[in-house]
Structure 1
Amino acid sequence: MIEVRNLTKRHRGRAVVDDLSFTVEPGHVTGFLGRNGAGKSTTMRLMLGLDHPCAGRVLFDGVPYRRLPEPLRRVGVMLSPPAVHPGRTAFDHLLWLARTNRVPRGRVGEVLETVGLTGAARQRAGSLSLGMTQRLGIAAALLGDPPVLLLDEPVNGLDPEGVLWIRGMLRTLAAEGRTVFFSSHLMGETALTAERLVVIGGGRLLADTTVRRFVEDNARSHVRLRTPEPGRMREALAMSGIQVGAAEDGSLEVHGVEAARLGELAAANGVTLHEVSTQSPSLEEAFMRLTGAEAGARTEAGRR
């Protein structure tokens, strides 16, 4: 379990992280989201003791990270980009980490196989591709077989096969009862991987909930209409007091009205429809709606 309590960090008088509190429970994959500048990277550095908070604390299973006697065995960490000496081979990089935390040598080969780098074990890190370097960083996080994983942008640089692999691996680790916490800017992948979300904006907590509840609370479904007669359809909707918007592909978007009613309205007015479909809200839409409103509120407050 990860407990973040009243975490605060100020820089030049500005709160980069502002009284932030949340808990990451074991048995779930939890995504950490925020716009650029929201404070995600600073929060993760504070969690690991790489930056000093002005207030608050972070506990990993009841212990601050800096007090863990063998941290690699308790918390698996990968910050983006992974810190790897370019002159070391992938094997030697992991072996060096293993020896500093009393991890058996045999574990190095195991994690190299887990991340698909057995064939590149003797290759120098500086010659690895971005995706292979990412896999090496994940291998380092897994090396101590820790109960807690904290990963910063683990999907970056991975090919489609790698994305499927990391998604399945994170879910498997959570199913084993581990605490899995990862940051990402990829909304679609987060929606497919995470069960829970922690969302921040301006260093403050905006949401700590399930993915499903977050989408339901912050986005609405709508009906998509495709017609060769958009002008006539707009007139028919306006006469019924129904507001309509336009999508980039030229289709019409209607909120708050069932698809069946719109189809009946089109038929009654002799309007040809090529498509009437209900579009479910996405995590991206919900995220942009919430964080956009929050950013707008902060901008307005700054003008006062």
Structure 2
Amino acid sequence: MIEVRGLTKRYGPTLAVDDLSFQVRPGSVTGFLGPNGAGKSTTMRMILGLDRPTAGTALIAGKPYRDLDHPLRTVGALLDAKWVHPNRSARSHLRWMAASNGIPDSRVDEVLALVGLTEVAGKKAGGFSLGMSQRLGLAGALLGDPQVLLFDEPVNGLDPEGIVWIRKFMQRLAAEGRTVLVSSHLLSEMALTAEHLVVIGRGRLIADTSVREFVDRASESVVRVRSPQLEALRSLLTAQGLTVREEGGTTHDKPSLTVLDSTTEAIGELAAQSGIVLHELAGQTGSLEDAFMKLTGDQVQYHGTGAAELLEGFRTAPAQTPLQPQTPPGYPPAHAKEAGR
């Protein structure tokens, strides 16, 4: 298990992590989410002893990372897929890691096979694609057969087949009773991978809950309904005090009603009692992406300009005189060089 208690990290005047506390329990994949600059990578680095906390503690299996006798046998991590020495082969890199923690060489070939790199085990890691580097990083994380695993953007650079593979692989590791913490910006993928979420913004905890509870907490409960008697249905629903919006009505989408804060059962029973025919009746739930944007929108550190505003800025900006190249300090001006030719 991973335990984070009052974890705080300052870089000069910048507060990167602010009194953060949470637990990551074994048996399920926990997604670690937050906007850019939220403090996710800093937190993971402190858990792994790569950064020293300003205050608070981070424990793995009840101990700080520095107190683990053979850390690779307790915790495996993939934070940066490209940290491998480029002139080492995949096998040599893993053998070096294994030797540092008393792990037998036989385990190296096991994990290479596990991540699908057996055929390129003798090739230099510097020539690997990002996807292959991710697989090598995963092999290193698994080398000591640890019970705790941390992954930072593990599907980065993988093709669709690789993404599905690593999703199922992480779920299998959790099903074996291991503790799995995964940081990712791919929310659609995290919705399929994780069962539990720890969400932070500006270094503070926003949510520590199941994926389902997180989505339900931030999403509207809506029902979509279509009927050839749309106006009669609208009148019936508004008379019950329900909020109703009309949707569609284009060539490819027939008009429908979206009903807020109700259920398919309630609307179906009302329509049946009034003899109104329904052609569609479906509940709609929010997505993890919608919930994430709603709950973390005010925690985003860097905001981009919308396309419309950007184009308008170009249209209304006064004409500028082109910038002239500047002569670096210590170099003669261009006209002097010309005169000397």
Q: Structure 2 length as normaliser, TM-score?
A: 0.76
Partner secondary structure for residue 215 of structure 1: helix
Q: CA deviation at 1:114?
A: 0.4
Given the alignment of the two structures, is residue 218 of structure 1 paired with residue 228 of structure 2, yes or no?
no
Corresponding residue pairs, total: 294
Match of 1:295 among 274, 299, 304: 299
User: Does the 8 Å contact 1:89/1:124 carry over to 2?
Assistant: yes
Structure 1 distance, partners of 2:104, 2:247, is 60
More displaced, 11-20 or 55-64? 11-20
| Residue 67 of structure 2: aligned partner | 67
Q: CA deviation at 1:70?
A: 1.7
- Shift in alpha-carbon separation, 1:239–1:28, aligned structure 2, 3 A: closer
User: Does the 8 Å contact 2:223/2:258 carry over to 1?
Assistant: yes
Structure 2 distance, partners of 1:109, 1:18, is 42
- Structure 1 unaligned segments of length 5 or more: list them: 300-304
| Residue 141 of structure 1: aligned partner | 141
| Residue 256 of structure 1: aligned partner | 261
- Shift in alpha-carbon separation, 1:227–1:202, aligned structure 2, 3 A: farther
The 5-angstrom pairing of residues 55-134 of structure 1 reads 55-134=55-134
Structure 2 distance, partners of 1:165, 1:286, is 26
User: Does the 8 Å contact 1:6/1:56 carry over to 2?
Assistant: yes
| Residue 245 of structure 2: aligned partner | 244
| Residue 22 of structure 1: aligned partner | 22
| Residue 281 of structure 1: aligned partner | 286
Structure 1 distance, partners of 2:159, 2:246, is 36
Given the alignment of the two structures, is residue 156 of structure 1 paired with residue 160 of structure 2, yes or no?
no
Structure 1 distance, partners of 2:257, 2:78, is 44
- Shift in alpha-carbon separation, 1:105–1:254, aligned structure 2, 3 A: same
Partner secondary structure for residue 214 of structure 1: helix
Q: Structure 1 length as normaliser, TM-score?
A: 0.84
- Shift in alpha-carbon separation, 1:233–1:30, aligned structure 2, 3 A: farther
User: Does the 8 Å contact 1:47/1:65 carry over to 2?
Assistant: yes
Cα deviations by residue, 1:62-94 (Å, 9 ceiling, x for unpaired): 111122222111110110344211111111111
User: Does the 8 Å contact 1:226/1:275 carry over to 2?
Assistant: yes
Partner secondary structure for residue 50 of structure 2: coil
- Shift in alpha-carbon separation, 1:117–1:227, aligned structure 2, 3 A: farther
- Structure 2 unaligned segments of length 5 or more: list them: 304-341
Structure 2 distance, partners of 1:179, 1:28, is 7
More displaced, 29-38 or 159-168? 159-168
User: Does the 8 Å contact 1:90/1:124 carry over to 2?
Assistant: yes
User: Which is greater in Rg?
Assistant: 2
